[in-house]
Structure 1
Amino acid sequence: MSLDAVSAAELIAWYAEMGVTEALDETPHDHFAAAPEPARQPVARPVAAAQPAARRPAAVAAATPPDEAALSARALAREATSLDELKTALASFEGCPLKATAKNLVFADGNPAGKVMIVGEAPGADEDRAGVPFVGRSGQLLDRMLAAIGLTRQEHVYIANLLPWRPPGNRTPTPQEVAICLPFIQRQIELVDPDILVCVGGPSAQGLLGVSGILASRGRWMEYDTGRRMIRAIATLHPAYLLRQPLQKRLAWRDLRTLKAALAAP
């Protein structure tokens, strides 16, 4: 199948958005067969003298079980009394394996005093490099969508993600990863205490609002308990999805108009 220049450029951009970093040939190559076998080097194996129990090296600690990690996350999140303290707690948290593969913690952006809080799924490659949510192509589209109803992240909107670390290859977060990180984003919403919560994408809507099927659940008002009060919440399509499915922008525009009407109401 041949592609014209425009289609090829769009395909490459989509691969980059999905986290593809390597280009492969059309035919497989056995690089192990081509490489010469390294010469074996003699290895000295000294006989270790018996050590007292107190001096024996400790075994490498195993990864924290998911249930214990979630309990630890809940305790750390509850102790945070400000957004700065919550960010510090997240930076010190070692219970989520995604932290080991991510470049940066992606905490939040925008105005915590804004009426609207947007929660996406997880950072992408651009966000992981910058340490700021929604700065790549999908973030630029999100900014244009907000501007269409008179909102800016600098003044009206506070933006975060369900997970603060990028999953490798921009894959969908696993249920265990969501469960571990959920206490932190719940506490973040509680501290910001917005008037309206906007869940962007299916994982965010499912994790925070308990609804599945973003196309079926988007555009309708629900309630979310911030820990202080019940606020209005709505789910909408993720900008990354809209870049792949431009025809669905009409649905996102309906959701934006619904949000604008709610903000304009007394």
Structure 2
Amino acid sequence: MSTDDVVGLSLDAGLATITLRRGGASNALDRAVKEQLLTAVEKVAAADSVRAVLLAAEGKNFCVGQDLAEHVAGLEAGAAHAMDTVGEHYNPLLRALAGIRVPVVVAINGACVGAGLGIALAGDIRVAGAGVKFATAFTGIALAGDSGLSHTLVQALGPSRATGLMMLGDRFTAAQALDWGLVHRVVPDAELDDTATALARQLANGPTAAYVQVKALVSAESAGLPEALERERDAAELLGQSTDHRSAVDAFLAKRTPTFEGR
């Protein structure tokens, strides 16, 4: 792993650990993070020696979603293609994460927002620090959502609560996420790394074939992610060219409250 890597990958006795390493930017998803994360996930999925996966992040925040500075550059280059990243990066990444046959544990710290939330929900077992704040965040910049959230949130929470969270963008806490069944365990922030690693290690030392079948059975009950990803891509391409989206992104970067015109 070089110093230029923004995603780390290590393998120890059957446990693969994937680490977001752009902590200084709150692990915002720029092209490098998205491409390296997809590569790491694909390597893990193809490795017969992997018996469990731990997805974690360096820095104060797990992931704040798409890097909006990069996104603005895309809008300025041409709004018609600014949302190409959904089809090129997010959809392949979510398919690859969902395709990992062995258990995936996600250690969530700090902020888990937008596509960061979508990535976290692609895991099987989520452990959150007590201070974590979650949000969908997409409608705040006049988008509908990507990274599978239109599927995974509905599966986890039901259509009513999922719709409210996606439309209103309300922040919610680790305690609420636990109460709703969105995370498996909440621990003190200082204990997150040790707890998540111990849990992932337990799974790596367990009956892997049984875990694979459990995951396959559960996945069969929540089929529909591929179709949801395609619908999200279509919505992103449409909304990425809207007046409201561009003005909202500019307002966000300028730390102003956006004004929406409805177009």
TM over 0.5: no
Q: Normalising to structure 1: TM-score of the pair?
A: 0.27
Between structures 1 and 2, the one with greater helix share: 2
Q: Normalising to structure 2: TM-score of the pair?
A: 0.27
Between structures 1 and 2, the one with greater strand share: 2
| Bigger-Rg structure (1/2) | 1
